Homo-oligomer: A and B are copies of this chain.
Amino acid sequence: MVSDRAPRLDLVFHALAHPARRAMIRQLSGGERNLSELASPLRMTFPAATKHVRVLERAKLVRRRISGRQHLCRLRAAPLREAMLWAEQFRRNWEARFEALDSLLDEMKSADQSPRGR
C-alpha cells in the first residue's frame, strides 16, 4: 500500500499538475531530449522552462545527464508507477461501488440545492 503522506507523491503529482511539464513528459516519452528541445515548443522563456525541468527532476520523473554543453534529459518510470499505484487503490472501489449510481443520481437531482458550477 502506498501511504497518503509520502512526500514523493506530493512531488510527483505536483510535477504533473502543469501543462508545460506534461508536454515535456510527452516529448521525453519519444526519447532523450536536451533542454533547448524541451523549451522551444513552450511559449515561455528558456529560464522558465528549465525551472519546470527541475521540478520534474525533483520528483525524480526526469534524470539529467550532461554531455559536453548539452544537458540531456530522460524519463524515469518508477515515480509515476508509484503514483498510479496509489490511485489504483481507490479507482477500483469507485468504479465498482459508486460510478454506476453517479450518473443516475446526476439526473435525478440535477442541481437542486447547491449552486456550485456543474
Taken together, the copies of this chain in the complex come to: 2
A16 neighbours in B (Cβ, 8 Å): 9, 13, 83, 87
Interface residue ranges of A48-66 to B (CB < 8 Å):
57, 63-66
The answer to whether B84 and A102 have CB atoms under 8 Å apart is no
The answer to whether A66 and B10 have CB atoms under 8 Å apart is no
The answer to whether A4 and B26 have CB atoms under 8 Å apart is yes
The answer to whether A65 and B10 have CB atoms under 8 Å apart is no
A78-97 vs B, CB cutoff 8 Å, 1 = contact: the mask equals: 10110110111111011100
User: Could you say which of B76, B84, B94, B99 contacts A29, with CB atoms under 8 Å apart?
Assistant: B94
A90 neighbours in B (Cβ, 8 Å): 25-26, 29, 75, 80
A29 neighbours in B (Cβ, 8 Å): 89-90, 93-94
Give me the interface of A with B, judged by CB distance under 8 Å: 4-7, 9-10, 13-14, 16-19, 22-23, 25-26, 29, 57, 63-66, 74-78, 80-81, 83-84, 86-91, 93-95, 98-99, 102, 109, 113-114, 116
Task: Please name the 4 residue pairs, one residue from A and one from B, whose CB atoms are nearest each other, closest first.
Answer: A77-B94, A13-B17, A5-B19, A14-B17
